[in-house]
A and B are shown apart, each in its own frame.
Chain A
Amino acid sequence: MNHFELFDLPAAFNIDAAVLQQRYRKLQQTLHPDRFANGTEREKLLAVQRTAQLNDAYQTLRSPLSRAEYLLALRGIELAHEQTTVQDPEFLMAQMEWRERIATIKDWSTLESAYKDLQEEMRDLQMVLEQQLNQNADQDAAMTVRKLKFMHKLHHELERIEDII
């Protein structure tokens, strides 16, 4: 059973987040340790294992980026982030500019405007990704997923700065 089937959702990028959360909570309850208080050791162990699987499935589907990666994996697209390099010069130039901009952030107002711009770019990329996945343009979607990973990295950098500012 794949993660989508577990939550009785269609294997698609667009899923109803509220429904996902609702079904997650319901499944969580059925596996709660209290229910197995009088069960056998084997039943208890199984419940723990299923809970771990359930949490993993929920986390994967909850975030759009990991949901897209999972969906592509189901469609047989191996993303192989460790072996792949991105060579799109325009995109990389923009990444360099982002890094330079982040290096100059010194106060809340510049941090805030960076967050705003970054989130906007991420939203745009996510919309592109949604279209590509809906049209089964899987190779294009894989490239967009890779780009989004760079954007997430930038987001982490901003969070790191937020902690020290």
Chain B
Amino acid sequence: MAYSDKVIDHYENPRNVGAFDKDDPNVATGMVGAPACGDVMRLQLKINDDGVIEDARFKTYGCGSAIASSSLVTEWVKGKTVEEAEQLKNTEIAEELALPPVKIHCSILAEDAIKAAIADYRNKKQAS
């Protein structure tokens, strides 16, 4: 199967790979996995006191499309508020990366990773 140029670019030069300290009160962690292909994705957001995402990191074990989807998401969410980031749809990711139908689940995984991270952010805020 042929990958689009954008997928290849993100796959070869992934943005924001790595991790933040998950115990940092400003760091939210979202972990998701896709049973269809066994891919696992960890997305971390550094969120300031105004609820703006200042930075993001990811680590994904999976195919090129899953890596590209998470890499793209880390770029997109930076500078957005939590509420804005929450609105991101997998269809936008799939469209930007020109994902074929069999790889749509990679973009679903990335969308769910954002939601999981934001849920973690809200949990942490409530607990503190």
Contacts and interface: CB of A to CB of B under 8 A. Distances in A.
Contacts of B108: 83, 85
A81 B35 contact: yes
A149 interface: yes
Interface residues of B, number: 18
Interface string B48-72: 0000000000010100000000000
- Chain A facing B: main interface SS: helix
A74 B33 CA distance: 25
A95 B40 contact: yes
Nearest to B36: A81
Interface residues of A, number: 24
A87 B32 contact: yes
- Chain B facing A: main interface SS: mixed
Interface in B83-128: 104-105, 108-109, 112, 116
Residue among A81, A86, A93, A156 with the most chain B CB within 10 A?
A86
Contact of A96 (B37, B38, B42): B42
B100 to A, nearest CB: 13
A25 interface: no
